[in-house]
């Protein structure tokens, strides 16, 4: 319910709030929901060179790593390093 509500209003939700909700989903083991929220948050800050952008990339990368999607995780690490 919360997940659908947040996704529906993603353009209105602050990045910090998305990260907090994503962290909640990560803690309860719903990694795919957390990943979706982190990706939306990343899209909101992708054009900016701010530290939170790289923190979000790290969160996304870790979830791919935990889900054993190693090629995607490696791609994200390289993207973060080149940024």
Beta strands in 6-83, from DSSP E residues, in sequence order = none
Average pLDDT, the chain: 89
Domains of the chain plus CATH, in order, are 2-82 (1.25.40)
> Token match 């923190």: residue?
55
What's the pTM?
0.86
Q: What is the pLDDT of residue 16?
A: 92
Q: Which of 39, 60, 43 is nearest to 80 (CA)?
A: 60
């Amino acid at each position: 319910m919360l997940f659908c509500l947040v996704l529906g209003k993603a353009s209105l939700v602050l990045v910090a709030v998305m990260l907090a909700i994503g962290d909640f989903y990560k803690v309860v083991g719903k990694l795919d929901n957390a990943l979706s929220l982190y990706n939306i948050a990343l899209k909101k800050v992708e054009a900016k060179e701010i530290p939170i952008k790289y923190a979000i990339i790290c969160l996304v990368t870790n979830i791919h790593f935990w889900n054993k999607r190693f090629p995607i995780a490696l791609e994200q690490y390289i993207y973060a390093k080149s940024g």
